Amino acid sequence: MTFVIWSIEHDAWWRPAEIGYTRVLGEAGLYEQEDAARIVRQANIVHFHECMIPVECVADLAGDDGRMKKPKIDKALRDATRRNFERLSESRTFCLLFNERMVEEVLPLIQMGLAVYLDKPIVILAPAGSAIPGNLRAMATAIEEFDPADPRSLDAATQRLVRNGKM
């Protein structure tokens, strides 16, 4: 699997060959999982500054000019990423509560990258009939659907994951 590396500290992507940063996704370096994990591990020794994101997860975020369609990641997102890293390091599984708008959001992508970096199984809870992109399906160890109209359905889906040993 190929990754890009997002620098939370520099608010930019790592360039190829670990040299510099860019705000243009199309100019970001592509790193194999082993190299990306090494870079992120070395960069995060003291503080959490960098995260690796599978290329498939960010492919649709670049506009025609290669720049991110979304505004830059702000302090709130950086703080949320740090909190997610701390929580995820303590958990056994990463559970993504999917909604179709999230494929345009950066935070779930960072969370998925953290899960891959920490070698956590990824499970997805999704409303029945959701169009989950193939790249997310490929990364998930399990997907459970629920009925958003039934308040007990989400709990039941979670319990199925637990019973099947996925959470």
Domain limits, the chain: 2-163
**Partners of 14 in beta bridges:** 21
Token pair for residue 132?
């989950």
What pLDDT is recorded for position 31?
A: 92
Token pair for residue 99?
């909604």
Residue with tokens 């959470």: 167
Residues 79-120 have pLDDT tens digits of 666 666 676 677 777 777 777 666 556 667 777 777 777 788
What pLDDT is recorded for position 73?
A: 42
φ, ψ at 28 (rounded to 5°)? -70, 150
C-beta separation of 67 from 103 below 8 A: no
The pLDDT mean for the chain works out to 76
C-beta separation of 27 from 65 below 8 A: no
SS3 at position 104: helix
Residue with tokens 């308040």: 151
What pLDDT is recorded for position 9?
A: 78
C-beta separation of 130 from 144 below 8 A: no
What pLDDT is recorded for position 93?
A: 79
SS3 at position 37: helix
Kindly report the pTM of this predicted structure. Answer: 0.51
User: In b/e form, how buried is each residue of 104-125, taking b as 16+ CB within 10 angstroms?
Assistant: eebebbbbbbbbbbeebbbbbb
**CATH number of the domain located at residue range(s) 2-163 in this protein:** 3.40.50
